Every structure is written in C-alpha cells, then in structure tokens.
Amino acid sequence: MKQIRTVKGTHDILPKDTPKWHLLESIIHDVCAKFGYKEIRTPIFENTNLFLRGVGAETDIVSKEMYTWEDKDSTSLTLRPELTASVVRSYIQHSLGNQLPIQKLYYIGSLFRRERPQKGRQRQFHQFGVEAFGSGFPEQEAEIIAIAWHILVKCGLSKQITLELNSIGSQKCRLQYRQALREFFSPHLTKLSETSQKRLNNNPLRILDSKNELEISLVKDAPKISEYYSKEDDNHFNDVKCFLKEMGIPFIINSKLVRGLDYYTKTVFEFTSVDLGSQNAILGGGRYDGLVEKLGGKPTPGIGFAAGMERFLIAIEESKPKFEIQPPDIYFICLDVSGIMISQKIANKLRENGYKVICDMLRKSMKAQFREANKLAAKYVLILGEDELKNHTVGFKNLDNGNQKNIKQKNIIEFFSNLKN
C-alpha cells in the first residue's frame, strides 16, 4: 500500500526539534509578560471578508495565496493567512476597547498561505506577534519595537540583526506620495514587471519593495516619502527615533521600506538578519491607525509586529549550539510482571515531586533496559525485581559513578530529596 506523506508545503515538527520551539515560545511569553501584554488566541479560519477588507483585495496574500472554500451554508471561509486582522476582529467583537483604554495583546499560532515553499517558509507556518490598541503616541511605537528587541536579545541574535526604520506618513501624505510615484514610474512602464505594472495603479508604494534588479535600479532615483511628510508626520517620526536612541536600540533609516500589507500608516519597521539570505526580514511591523475602523470598529490607533517562527529558529541555530532534549532523571526497570503496578505507582509519585521518569513499556530484558537507560542518558536507574518485591525495596544505581544500594519503597521520595541536597 502506498505510503501517505505530508502535503506539499507542510512539515512535521519532530521530538528532536521541539526543545528549540519550547525555548522560543518561553522567551516570547516571558518578555511579553514583562511588558504587560496578554496572550490572545483566535480561530484558524475566519470569514473571507475579514481578509478582503483587512489585508487588502489587491495584495498578493489575498489575490494569490489564501486557502478559501465555500461552506455548506454558502459562507466563504478562509484559513487565516495573517493574524493582525483576526486580532482586530476579536478586539471589535468583544468590545475590548471598553474594558481598558489600551489593550496590549500577543499571540502565537499557525498561518496558511499557498506560496512557493522555501527555506524557513512553508504553506503552513507559525507566527508570533504583538499588537497594541489605543495609543497614537510615538512612545507606543518605541515600546512595541523594544519588545521585539528584547526577544531578539534573549534569543542571542542582537549581533546578527539590523533594525530598519521608516515612516510612510499619514493618509494625506501617502495620497500625495502615491501620485508622485505614479508620475515617476509611468514613463518607465515597459521596464516594470507585470506585477509592478498592476501595483502602479493600486499601490505604487509596493514597487519600492521590489526584488527585481532592474526595478531596484529604477527605484534609486524615485522620490522619497520624507519629502511629503506633514509637520506632524515629521515630528512623530523624529520622536520615535529619539525614544529608540534613549532606549539604546540601534537602527538605520530605510526610505524604501514600506511593508507588504495595505493597512500600515506612519512608522514601519523590520529587523533583518545576515543569516537569512536575500529574504532577510526576520520580524516586521508598523502602525495601522485606520484598520479598526475599516473592520467596523470605532476609530482606534493600533500598532504591532509579527515574526515567522521557522525563520526565527533558522537565525537562532546559526548563533547557538544545538538544542538538546533534556534527559530523564530516572529510568525505572521492572523485571517482574507482578511488580508493574507497583513500579508505575512509585514512578507516578516521583513525577508528582518533579522528577522526569521513564518506564519500560515493552517488558524487555534487564540488559536491554539498561542499554535503553544509557542511550537516553538517564542519571539514575531504579530496579524492581523478585527480591525487591519480597523486601518492599527498590534497587538504585547511579549511572555516573556506579554506586548502588537498596531503598525502602516508602522512603523513595525522601531518598531523592536528600540526593538533590
């Protein structure tokens, strides 16, 4: 019979890899908690209109990459391709803005995009992110960027990454700038790719982000958005930069940085890594002051960032030694079938007291079980055989130094507690 394998663009996270995922997740939880952010979890599929309105019908994500189907009641549903729109939907639906003037949220979850699988990016991938609603002041941008910086530092990545910063201004500023870009690129229409030609009408800012070599050369002479800032835009961005300098977070200005989604306003940013090649963004985000209103809520300023966890882990692996699975404290060898229940009872008590205990489930020989204990790098072995059952004891062996002794079953927890001390 033909073997069933994973679907293209998906992968299994095997036991040898889960420790590094646990480490990254624990760092995210720890840093976000220190800044007062709370975790939110949303469904993995949503009404398709959420992404049409929230992400933008002309974006590649919506027009080319979504997994969409019609449900039995004719409702169009989509596996979430990004999480900000879902978090905003939840913020509006549950009136979170009425509970606190500022809502500070973070998430970890799976996303789905039908794009070409590549290193660090599959069709099902994992993302973590942070969102803050309620403050339009520049210190909120600084705090969001600081959270990202702290996570990167805790992961040992501060030397490999660069914070790239830009402001795409207010709505009025962007309308003027879009027109200026259309006027600049129109004479060069034949030099633009088919994708960029479409973007010229819909969102010419996206051409600035092109990876096409000919377009990169063309973009060098394009007008800069800073030429169209209002005084308020300029002051806001300067304040963001001042806050980051005071916090000791280094950055560079990248006037071509616009980010890929249509909902961004004012400050946008990316952390890039030298270990990720041409697709070098490890984390990115920005302000989206109009998104809550666009999805049916009250006008509410918002800002956030997101990071693909697979790409994050690639960068971590380049800077850290290999992650190892924590070995068991105790391997429990039971040599008498009649003693299996007793061995399980003792093992369970040990686990309740914080010890990692592995029990044989194949009723192997003592030699085979000792071999397994050594393979797993267990610290100690407990042995329960016929003699131990008669005497209500358990055999103990330290696999590091070979020391052995018998312990009364009723004293087993006390024995290991003393061993720790």
Q: For residue 79, with 0-12 CB atoms within 10 Å meaning exposed, 13-18 middle and 19 or more buried, which class applies?
A: buried
Q: Do 264 and 408 sit in the same domain of this protein?
A: no
User: What is the model's pLDDT at position 211?
Assistant: 75
Q: Do 124 and 248 sit in the same domain of this protein?
A: yes
Rg (CA), the chain: 28
Q: Do 65 and 160 sit in the same domain of this protein?
A: yes
Q: Report if residue 210 sits inside a domain.
A: no
pLDDT in tens, the chain (421 residues): 999 999 999 999 999 899 899 999 999 999 999 999 999 999 999 999 999 998 877 777 888 899 999 999 999 999 999 999 999 999 999 999 999 999 999 999 999 999 888 877 899 999 999 999 999 999 999 999 999 999 999 998 888 889 999 998 888 888 888 888 888 888 888 788 887 887 887 778 878 877 778 778 788 888 888 888 999 999 999 999 999 999 999 999 998 887 756 678 899 999 998 766 666 889 999 999 989 999 999 999 999 999 999 988 988 887 655 566 789 999 999 998 888 999 999 999 999 999 999 999 999 999 999 999 999 999 999 999 999 999 999 999 999 999 999 999 999 999 999 987 6
User: What is the model's pLDDT at position 317?
Assistant: 81
Q: Do 130 and 255 sit in the same domain of this protein?
A: yes
Q: Which amino acid is at 272?
A: T
**Inter-residue contact 230 to 173 (CB < 8 Å):** yes
Domain finish residue from 270, 296, 319? 319
Q: Report if residue 141 sits inside a domain.
A: yes
* Residue with tokens 């040990």, as numbered in its chain: 350
Q: Report if residue 46 sits inside a domain.
A: yes
Q: Do 137 and 260 sit in the same domain of this protein?
A: yes
Query: Global pTM?
Result: 0.84
**Inter-residue contact 130 to 37 (CB < 8 Å):** yes
Q: Do 252 and 127 sit in the same domain of this protein?
A: yes
- For 243-254, the DSSP string reads HHHHTT---EE-
Q: Do 244 and 336 sit in the same domain of this protein?
A: no
Q: Which amino acid is at 336?
A: D
Q: Do 111 and 154 sit in the same domain of this protein?
A: yes
**Nearest alpha-carbon partner for 240 in 109, 331, 135:** 135
**Nearest alpha-carbon partner for 308 in 162, 109, 117:** 109
Q: Report if residue 139 sits inside a domain.
A: yes
Domain finish residue from 319, 352, 384? 319
Distance from the Cα of residue 51 to its chain's centroid: 20
- Assign residue 386 a region: left if phi > 0, alpha if psi is -120 to 50, beta otherwise? alpha
Q: Do 81 and 147 sit in the same domain of this protein?
A: yes
- Domain containing 390 equals 330-420
Q: Report if residue 218 sits inside a domain.
A: no
**Nearest alpha-carbon partner for 243 in 125, 163, 158:** 163
Report the half-sphere exposure of 257 (CA within 13 A, side-chain side).
Answer: 22
Q: Report if residue 4 sits inside a domain.
A: no
Q: Do 49 and 145 sit in the same domain of this protein?
A: yes
Q: Do 250 and 289 sit in the same domain of this protein?
A: yes
| H or E element in which residue 232 lies | helix 231-246
Q: The CATH number of the domain where 309 resides is what?
A: 3.30.930.10
Q: The CATH number of the domain where 353 resides is what?
A: 3.40.50.800
Q: Report if residue 206 sits inside a domain.
A: no
Domain finish residue from 294, 319, 344? 319
Q: Do 346 and 298 sit in the same domain of this protein?
A: no
- For 103-158, the DSSP string reads EEEEEEEEEE--S--BTTB-SEEEEEEEEEES--SHHHHHHHHHHHHHHHHHTT-T
User: What is the model's pLDDT at position 88?
Assistant: 96
Q: Report if residue 183 sits inside a domain.
A: no
* Count of structural domains within the chain: 2
The whole-angstrom separation of Cα 233 and Cα 228 is 9
